[in-house]
Structure 1
């Protein structure tokens, strides 16, 4: 606890990182193209009228949209084509708007962890209270990575020698899962109804698809829900601006101004009306060896 209280959120912000900001007037479809194209899972939302950040858009929102409006494979989801981010927020939140939970770069890591747990969120925007600029998005994974760097220099509590099951960490009963032939829309429904972020893919016997080897190297196949990482030739490529450049966002009306040295914001002009290619990526996961995972909103560094 002393370690967490002695380090600030600013200490954990990388010297170079990518941050995409959306204006709430941007179309939902274009916003998700930009998320996938930039390889990020979430973006702060900027409200031009209020001149402030009002929320976050994540892959989970995309899943909720598909789950809510999907009818059949033959019916186009017009809501996805036409809705703006602000429209989706009004329908989804139904007037239950809450202020965006964020934290100052000068706040301690202890405060950041407390805020993540208290508000039951997976992402915590770091916003400079003076300039109003978003600097970074903190996640549990990023905090754990930072903590791991100093593990050898810190005293280890007794519980560190216990196993995960004894500590009650993880899910061991009523586990949500899918089969290799499960329709994607069914998987999305499970994400929404069970409020989980990943689903193990198992065969009919209950074994992990692809075989399982206890204690072996864990490998997973991440299937992002959405469209491709690559943009078509008609779209501009994303560029990481220098540390002193103004903060830029996808969509009109977002702030442009000075920001902290460690904040590097990606500018991306997306032509969302062009065809996109299917995209899939690979990542290491734990829990099932040699298996496949269907992931909705897993954390990134």
Structure 2
């Protein structure tokens, strides 16, 4: 191994993903995944765990490692800064934090949005900023709005090479909470296959004028009186929450906007269905591809600066 290759690590709260990448082409040579997110480790364990995960990829310290995600949070390996909007790729590259205890390893900063007025927007992200810049490099020139579905979904706008605004939606986390810890979600405790019709019902109700809080309770009402089966409740709840998220953003986006979805094989089809029903144009980029492309762009930015 040498500097002709580098390692990309996307390390979140629950999952670990590592990619060995060819520096010239950006091609992924090998990948490794694990369920050990940051919450499974103490701070002293991070360098040793990572070294084991990339064993065989790094015969010398000349092979750099770039880490993004919650690994850079206060509860992670080491707290990397969160840069204030607007943020460029060059700024991310300049503020990478050396990872304590492991040579030639760097944690990419996160991003924050703090409006001057304390009653205004306050929002943060870690990891998605890399995916956003990566998707920008992979997507069409038309795309300036990006959506990253997940536990905490992100919608962000890039103007050229600058991240100018973003919003977080607790869609995935709220889905889990409602399904497993509320009365409306009680019939959906067991696993069930995805149901398109129930999901579409949820999409319609998620954007209704009564609002998302009423729509979530309809999972119970519909189960009792309109034939929504127990095995359909989970899909209905998913539709309500994704529908509410998309409806909120649909009202904010300029006419004719193309949205770039940065997602997994599980979530992307659901958001594509929601965007289609909302009459929004979209294109899709796999989240792993976006992460690798983002780090590739960050390295190129560093090289230009040097």
User: Above 0.5 in TM-score?
Assistant: no
TM-score by length of 1: 0.25
TM-score by length of 2: 0.24
Greater strand percent: which structure? 2
